[in-house]
Copies of this chain bind each other. A is one copy, B any other.
Amino acid sequence: MPSISPSLAAAMADAANAITESLDRILPKSDFPEQKLFNAMRYGVLGGGKRLRPFLVLNSASIFGVGGDCALRVAAAVECIHCYSLIHDDLPAMDNSDLRRGRPTAHKEYDEATAILAGDALLTLAFELLADPRTHEDPQVRCRLVTALAKASGVHGMVGGQMLDLIAETTQLDIGAITRLQRLKTGELIAFSAEAGAILGKASVQHHNALRAYAHDLGLAFQIIDDLLDAEGTEEETGKSVQRDAKAGKATFVTILGADRARNQAKLLSEQAIQHLGIFGGRAKQLEDVARFVVDRKN
């Protein structure tokens, strides 16, 4: 069992339920002939998961008193991006994974073409959600959200990181290159999630920077633990295919540092992440707790 505090566990479960309900409302249902596409989109985003990124959006927003539908819509947009990336990453031409969150991956449940299109549609939907006046009354804020999410998830962010990850299958990366890979592949979207509250709340530059710094350390800690779970976890525990890195012969934090040093590094990053939140007094308690959680998690 992960050593997650009961209050954090409850808060994360509440946030996960809220975001799942929100996505269920937002995502199109259809009896059009193309309903298979709508179903595949829903399959991709409603299949559970920790909802870490939405949790960061909701809790960074609450620091600045932004709540309700605004933060939920931004959280839904981030989750659309995250889930589209999982659908595309799982494709045969990419990681070729059959299992995700304990269920068949989208292209196994549907087919490759539908999975590609469902990913494209979710990616597009994310920006439609952000630009909608219901997300924030100030169009300047909505444009900032679109810009920040596009940068975090595009060629200089998540997609660039995924490309590096493919290159890593045939090139031995050093620790610096792996750190950059992970910052792009997962770090930038996690950073956006934490910064989104500051954008919604029109926060000061210092508050923006504190949340970004927190999220970058958190994201790296999260990824190191991901590598550890891939190396040491079981399919039953993690709900996804494991030892994929070892099978692909990829260098990871664990293969380079070893399991013990990697775990220590993750803990150090987690502590450092919490220190960045000092600027908020006690108002970022949930974000502090989540930094502890990511290094203790078992899936």
Chain A interfacial positions (CB closer than 8 Å to B): 28, 32-34, 36-38, 41, 84, 88, 91, 93-94, 111-114, 116-117, 119-121, 123-125, 127-128, 130-133, 138-140, 142-144, 146-147, 150-151, 153-156, 159-160, 162-164, 166-167, 171, 177
Contacts and interface: CB of A to CB of B under 8 A. Distances in A.
Q: How many copies does the complex hold?
A: 2
B123 A120 contact: yes
A47 B159 CA distance: 22
Given A36-B163, A123-B120, A132 B147 contact: yes
B28 A155 contact: yes
A128 B142 contact: no
A89 to B, nearest CB: 9
B156 A117 contact: no
A143 B138 CA distance: 10
Contact of A93 (B84, B113, B160): B113
A38 B155 contact: yes
Given A28-B156, A119-B120, A139-B142, 10 more contacts: A36-B163, A88-B116, A91-B113, A93-B113, A117-B159, A124-B155, A125-B150, A128-B150, A131-B143, A139-B143
Contact of A147 (B32, B128, B140): B128
B112 A155 contact: no
A243 B81 CA distance: 36
Contact of A123 (B113, B124, B142): B124
Contacts of A177: 33
A138 B138 CA distance: 11
A125 B155 contact: yes
A142 B141 CA distance: 11
B91 A116 contact: yes
Nearest to A85: B120
A178 to B, nearest CB: 11
B93 A124 contact: no
A121 B164 contact: no
Contacts of A28: 155-156
B154 A124 contact: yes
A116 B91 CA distance: 10
Nearest to A150: B128
Contacts of A41: 155
Contact of A127 (B94, B127, B140, B144): B127
A124 B153 contact: yes
B123 A151 contact: no
A114 to B, nearest CB: 7
Nearest to A124: B154
A246 B44 CA distance: 33
A159 B153 CA distance: 20
